Every structure is written in structure tokens, then in C-alpha cells.
Amino acid sequence: MNKKVLVIMDPIESINIEKDTTYQLMLSAQNIGHELYYLMPGTLAIRSLEPVGMAARIKITKDKIPFYNLSDKSDFILSDFDYILMRQDPPVDNNYIYKTYILDLIKNYESKVINTGHSLRNYNEKLIILNFPEHIPDTIVTSDKKNLENFKKNHKKIILKPLNLMGGRSIYFIENIDKNLNVIFEDMTNLGKNYIIAQEYLEDVNKGDKRIIVINGKVIKESVIRVSNNEDHRSNIASGGSIEKHILNKEEIKICENVAKFLKAKNIFFAGIDMIGNKITEINITSPTCLAEINKFHNKDIGKFFWEQLK
């Protein structure tokens, strides 16, 4: 049965269709007959206690420029849609959080939000890994300089990350005696006012950082591994890393299935697990990526599987 799908995302004209996961999901939805709608940026609101927004019918025109066509722009009540795909990229700032509250006000329980406003708001993708202490590198969350200095003293090499960004932005690798540590700490924490996460540096990162997709509690064994270049410690594609084909081994599957069980229990339908060696470093739930690369390397259509799991 065909469904009405509303996509909430960053401005569509800004995406790279060769790599963009939202594009892959939209293309798969269109191919199986779903009606696609694009929420015009900045129009999500509450009116008469109902979440509303201006949306247009969107048709993906593959291999053409532009790659999409918008028509029949109109005001909609979000509960008119069967599926609402929340694909806005971080930062998870105040406005992002407010949008999750708006999505939680949808009154039609037949309308499925992916991922739900509640899950996006309550499970920070840097902190969610703390639910799996046996599967993560040594980690601290702090806004205190002394805690960070002691952690650095214990591990020598550490990674510092903000809690609300993505794509490798503002991630620092600290080793030996780094004279910039004070400056980095002050900048990342806003002089000790904001929390950051610090993790021990994993030498296995030289072999790459795996991205594993989880859909509806099911682990996709076909994955990819991202490898940093010689000029940057970050393996994210957005930071200049390269990408290779990877198939999960039995141990990796077992670890990820443990995570997937947790995600399903928390109503997190779509997630991307990041692993270095056998350690989980992040679980992306705001806007998981790499579907295009996995589809290409493994000759898959994970987007089709995504929509089939919603039946």
C-alpha cells in the first residue's frame, strides 16, 4: 500500500546525491510507489495545537539537473502523513531540540516519526555509547580541565569531541605534551561551561572506522570502513577520508546485535554504529549516513529494506 512520506531535512539543493543517505531513502521510497513530500525549511510550526508546515510534492529525477522537482506547495498538518522522516543534520542546538518537541505533539498515532522526537532528544549520539561500557574505549564526559589533564596523563593519546556536532567537526587528537591543550579545552568547553567527551585513542583506527547500519533492530552485515588520509586523523568522509567495502565478522555482528536490541527497545528505528576494531565510538541517530556507499560496494538497496521494515 502506498504511503504519504514527509521528509524534514536541510535544504535539498545543498546535498550531494552521490553520497547523501536522505536522497537514497527518498529514491527508494519513490521506486516502491510512496508519495514523497518535502518540508520547506523554516516552516515547521504549531497552529491550533497541531504541528504544521508548508510542504511540496517532490519527485526525484535521477541523472538530471536539477535532480528533483517540487510541485503543489501547500500547508499541511503533519498528522496527515503516514511517515515523517526527520533527517536534519546536527548541530543539536536549541532549535533542533524545539523541533523534536513539535514532532512529539503529532496527535495521530498512526503517523510514524523516524527517528522520534523523544529518542533524538533523549539519546545524545556521543553519550548513548555509555550504555555499553564493555564495548567502548575508556571514556569520560567533563567540563573540568583537571579531569581532562588526568585522563590525558593516563592514556597519553586521547580524542576530544563536542557532544552536538557531526561529520568530524571540532574533533581533536591530542598526544604527547600538547601546548595547545589549554586553548583547545577553553574553546571546546567555552571556558569550562560546556561538557565534552574524551576517549582513549585506539591504535586500530589506522585500520579504519567501520560504519554499520541498524534498521528496526536488525544489523546490516554489509558495511563500509572509512580510512583517514595522511594529513588528518579523522576518517569521516566529510573530513577527507576514503572508504572501503567491509562485511562484519561474527564478533562484530554479536556486539552490534547487542546494541540493536537496545535501540529497538528505545524506539530508535534507524541508526549508524561507528566501530574502531571491536570498540564502539559513536551511535549516530540524528542523520545516519553511508547508505549510498554501502549500496554501491555491496550492490544493495538498503533504502528498500528500510521502507519494508515499516510495514
Task: Kindly report, residue by residue over 243-252, the tens digit of the pLDDT.
Answer: 999 999 999 9
Same domain, 185 and 227: no
| Residue 221 falls in the annotated catalytic set | no
| Residue 284 falls in the annotated catalytic set | yes
Tell me which residue range forms the domain holding 172.
138-200
The pLDDT, as a whole number, for residue 229 is: 65
Beta bridge partners of 5: 36, 83
The enclosing domain of 270 has a CATH number of: 3.30.470.20
SS3 198: strand
Out of 112, 284, 293, 295, pick the active-site residue: 284
The pLDDT, as a whole number, for residue 180 is: 76
Domains identified in the chain, total number: 3
The pLDDT, as a whole number, for residue 63 is: 75
Same domain, 37 and 81: yes
Band the pLDDT of 233: cuts 50, 70, 90: very low
Out of 20, 125, 209, 282, pick the active-site residue: 282
- pLDDT at 166 > cutoff 70: no
The pLDDT, as a whole number, for residue 284 is: 96
Q: Among residues of the chain, what percentage have pLDDT more than 90?
A: 80
Give domain status of residue 10, yes or no: yes
Same domain, 106 and 186: no
Same domain, 192 and 290: no
pLDDT digits (tens, 9 = 90+) for 72-102: 999 999 999 999 999 999 999 999 999 999 9
Same domain, 182 and 214: no
pLDDT digits (tens, 9 = 90+) for 177-225: 667 778 888 889 888 899 999 999 999 999 999 999 999 999 999 999 9
The pLDDT, as a whole number, for residue 182 is: 83
The pLDDT, as a whole number, for residue 235 is: 47
The enclosing domain of 179 has a CATH number of: 3.30.1490.20
| Residue 161 falls in the annotated catalytic set | yes
Of 263, 235, 255, 303, nearest to 85 by C-alpha is 303
Out of 20, 226, 236, 295, pick the active-site residue: 226
- Residue 299's contacts (CB-CB under 8 Å, 6 or more residues apart) are none
Give domain status of residue 209, yes or no: yes
Same domain, 208 and 299: yes
Give domain status of residue 237, yes or no: yes
pLDDT digits (tens, 9 = 90+) for 248-271: 999 999 999 999 999 999 999 999
Out of 161, 210, 279, 295, pick the active-site residue: 161
Does residue 197 contact residue 159 with C-beta atoms inside 8 Å? no
pTM of the model: 0.93
Out of 115, 211, 236, 279, pick the active-site residue: 211
| Residue 274 falls in the annotated catalytic set | yes
| Residue 234 falls in the annotated catalytic set | yes
Give domain status of residue 184, yes or no: yes
- Taking the C-alpha atoms of residue 104 and residue 120, their distance in angstroms, rounded to an integer, is 11
pLDDT digits (tens, 9 = 90+) for 115-140: 999 999 999 999 999 999 999 999 99
- Residue 252's contacts (CB-CB under 8 Å, 6 or more residues apart) are 210, 212, 275, 278
